[in-house]
Structure formats: C-alpha cells, structure tokens
Amino acid sequence: MELKQRKFGKRQTGQGMTEYIIIVALIAIASITVVSFFGGTVRNQMAGMATELSGQKATDEISAAQNAADVASGDAQTEKNMGSYENTVSQ
C-alpha cells in the first residue's frame, strides 16, 4: 500500500509541473501578441524620450509613435476569425 502512495505522489508532482509549463506558455503567447501590436509604439516612444533627454526636440519620434498607436488601434478594432488568416500549405 505504501508503495502505491509513493508512486501517486510522484505523478501529482509531474502534473503540477505540466500545469505550470502550460501557464508559462500561455503568458508567453500573450506577451508576443501584445508586443506585436504595440511594439512599434513603445519603440518610437523610447526613441522620443532618448532624443528629449539629449536636449533635442523629438517631434518626429512623437508623431511616429502616434502613427504606430493608430495602426495598432485599427488592427485591434478589426474583427478576425479563422478565415482571416492565410493558409500557406505547400504541396
């Protein structure tokens, strides 16, 4: 009986590890999605801050950040389904 309990305990430890791996994978996918939508905006804002810190005007970077934010906002507003993605299977 004691032998069966030890084996069951090891299986539960493996199950917990699998659950954590799935959670980490979902967080990574969500992070990649957010960066793909807003990466250009953040990159342009950082460039604008660096330019301002150097003592110059950052009007180009600020307008580029606004344009990237507008594009990301437009992408977020469009409704997508499975038919929106291209199927590029080579035959």
Domain coordinates of the chain in residue numbers?
Answer: 15-77
Q: Give the model's pLDDT for residue 28.
A: 92
First vs last Cα of the chain: how many Å apart?
A: 56
Q: What is the pTM of this model?
A: 0.44
- Per the rule left: phi > 0, alpha: psi between -120 and 50, beta: everything else, 83 is alpha
Q: Is the pLDDT of residue 2 over 90?
A: no
pLDDT at site 56? 85
- CA distance to 11, 12, 25, 90, per residue, from 2 (Å): 15, 16, 35, 55
Instruction: For residue range 23-75, list pLDDT tens digits in order.
Output: 999 999 998 888 777 777 788 888 888 888 888 888 888 788 888 878 877 77
Region 10-17 average pLDDT = 68
Cα separations (Å) of 80 from 3, 42, 46, 75, 85? Answer: 53, 24, 30, 10, 8
Higher pLDDT, 54 or 86: 54
